[in-house]
């Protein structure tokens, strides 16, 4: 049996009251993770390897492509997924000691994977070629810029 995690982005304003308004429409799906591609640890946003499963699924099913600029990729993310990405990145950058190794690896792996996607080269090693701090700073600045765009703040 195929297992898929559906991440619902529910807009209560677009649904009527009552039982019919409680049902999820296809347009409510913010993202899906195909567990046949990768068996995530848990069936939710808090899975230890959530990002690996999410981005690998996006890549296999064409949600992202090699050479795609990361600012465009980030802009295409549903608000729920973007906020999780931003939150996880902030925790990773600000207080990595509070994260266990599996979660740190998942978040850092996501950063490396997405930098490789943008470069369009699966052999690209951003840490070796650009350095740890530079790579993380670049990725963080893209996330910050997207957050500012979404919240209407002026860029810093």
- Sorted by where each begins, the domain ranges of the chain are 4-151
Q: Mean of the pLDDT values across residues 121-130?
A: 91
Q: pTM for the whole thing?
A: 0.70
Q: Which two tokens stand for residue 14?
A: 């677009």
Cβ partners under 8 Å of residue 151, min gap 6: none
Query: How many angstroms separate the first and last alpha carbons of the chain?
Result: 48
Q: What is the pLDDT of residue 20?
A: 47
CA distance 103 to 100: 6
The string of pLDDT tens digits covering residues 83-116 is: 999 999 999 999 989 998 888 988 999 999 999 9
Residues in Cβ contact with 63 at an 8 Å cutoff, skipping those fewer than 6 apart: 57
Q: Three-state SS string across 16-62, please?
A: CCCCHHHCCCHHHEEEEEECCCCCCCCCCCCCCCHHHHHHHHHHHCC
Residue 54 has a pLDDT of: 82
What pLDDT does residue 62 have? 80
């Amino acid at each position: 049996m195929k297992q898929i995690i559906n991440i619902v982005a529910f807009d209560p304003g677009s649904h009527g009251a009552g039982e019919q308004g409680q049902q999820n429409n296809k347009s409510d799906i913010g993202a899906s993770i195909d567990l046949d591609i990768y068996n995530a640890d848990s069936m939710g946003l808090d899975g230890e390897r959530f990002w690996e499963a999410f981005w690998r699924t996006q890549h296999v099913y064409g949600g992202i492509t090699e050479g795609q600029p990361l600012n465009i990729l980030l802009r295409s993310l549903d608000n729920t997924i973007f906020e999780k990405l931003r939150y996880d990145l902030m925790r990773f950058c600000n207080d990595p000691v509070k994260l266990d190794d599996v979660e740190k690896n998942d978040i850092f792996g996501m950063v490396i994977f997405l930098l490789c996607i943008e470069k369009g080269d699966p052999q690209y090693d951003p840490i070796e070629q650009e350095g740890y701090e530079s790579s993380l700073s670049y990725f963080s600045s893209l996330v910050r810029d997207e957050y500012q765009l979404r919240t209407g703040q002026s860029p810093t």
